[in-house]
Amino acid sequence: MEKVANIVHIGELIAVSKVFEVNPFQMVTLIEKGSMEVFETKEDFIAKYGIKDTYEELEDWCELNNGKIFTKPKIPRQ
């Protein structure tokens, strides 16, 4: 995983952390562990998940006004 600081600005972390109800440090940890994804563009997001009305495979997602999309995929139950 590339350094989070190279792909996400602190302002983005703060804004998105409020949506996902975690603090910025937890956001960084989730991104580093791969439990949260960051897409630079909507096209990147669509390439992985497609265009749908609902995204059943995601717990939640958030699109910023700069085009970045943060997703939190559902963790399969074991």
Span 1-59, pLDDT tens digits: 567 878 899 999 999 999 999 999 999 999 999 899 999 999 999 999 999 989 999 99
DSSP-based three-state secondary structure for 4: helix
Give the DSSP letter of residue 51: S
Mean pLDDT of 51-68: 93
Query: Rounded CA gap, 51 and 29, in Å?
Result: 28
Query: Rounded CA gap, 31 and 64, in Å?
Result: 16
State whether the Cα torsion 66-44-53-58 is positive or negative. Answer: negative
Please check the confidence at residue 75 and state whether its pLDDT lies above 90.
no
Q: Classify residue 13 by burial, with Cβ atoms within 10 Å: 0-12, 13-18, 19+.
A: buried
